[in-house]
Homo-oligomer: A and B are copies of this chain.
């Protein structure tokens, strides 16, 4: 089983409106809500791809209850730690005229020391039954910056591999615990390392502890470096991206599956490219269309890079 950890789980609310005009009043035509947060989205994708998954993290209040109810309806197993605070909502206002989404992200709920301690205990316990632990997304107030370092060590002690998808301080602090894979996008890569050149930044993250780095760059695909080599992966066809927001989570889901199934790096990266591409073709963030995946599979490219080509 793959365990996903979402410390800042959210209730993702989507409003359909005609068009967004700042300063005006809008009639919301449709309301949809769904469990969200990066780790929850990874769990949703793994569940859709028929991989055993268990979602943990922190959830509380009315929004927490609604997101748990949504996971139950979707059939996604969860073992979320209850908190007294109210889980955040994200409101995505989608214009019917343009398809454009305007997002409003609430701050995360306050987390007490006791709640954070109980979550650590829970992850340690659940990791004992997991092949891979995925740590995704932002940290709510009250959870320390080195949260992911704690959880990576705890997962390793339990015998599980780890994938970290975080940014800023949370990503930098996680490196201390030597996670198996970190997956920043290129903006997060540059921000965390302070190094503008992507390959230089990848090396900086490895120097600071990451065993492997997979850096995604939207439609340009991804670059990866592990102890055994370096690769570049991309899709050799043009896609009309319907919803690019879930691509990173699909990539993480593919990497977690690859680690769990002990696949080779090129195979794992091919899945990462394919799942990400299939995800952006879906109208709903965090979903991978299996038919699309089969259709685009033959256009996935993974190139093995030798030392001389690392500077390209």
Contacts and interface: CB of A to CB of B under 8 A. Distances in A.
Contacts of A103: 24-26
Given A62-B65, A62-B66, A91-B91, A104 B28 contact: yes
A184 B182 CA distance: 60
A106 B91 CA distance: 12
A103 B66 CA distance: 23
A303 B95 CA distance: 47
A62 B20 CA distance: 27
A103 B93 CA distance: 11
Interface string A96-119: 001011111111000000000000
Interface in A90-146: 91, 93, 95, 98, 100-107
B25 A22 contact: no
Interface in A17-67: 17, 20-29, 31, 62-63, 65-66
A15 interface: yes
A22, A62, A101 interface centre (most CB from chain B within 10 Å): A22
A155 to B, nearest CB: 30
Contacts of A62: 62-63, 65-66
Contacts of A104: 15, 17, 26, 28, 91, 93
Contacts of A31: 106-107
Interface residues of A, number: 29
Contacts of A98: 23
Contacts of A29: 107
B105 A25 contact: yes
Interface string A62-89: 1101100000000000000000000000
B15 A100 contact: no
Contact of A95 (B15, B17, B22, B106): B22
Given A62-B62, A65-B62, A66-B62, A105 B26 contact: yes
Contacts of A102: 20-24, 26
A28 B93 contact: no
Contact of A100 (B22, B105, B106, B107): B22
Nearest to A17: B104
B24 A22 contact: no
A24 B93 CA distance: 10
A182 to B, nearest CB: 23
A22 B21 CA distance: 7
Nearest to A100: B23
Given A22-B95, A26-B102, 20 more contacts: A15-B91, A17-B104, A21-B22, A21-B102, A22-B102, A23-B100, A23-B102, A24-B102, A24-B103, A25-B103, A26-B104, A27-B105, A28-B104, A28-B105, A28-B106, A28-B107, A62-B62, A62-B66, A91-B104, A93-B104
Closest 8 CB pairs of A and B: A62-B62, A25-B103, A20-B22, A23-B100, A28-B106, A26-B104, A22-B102, A28-B104
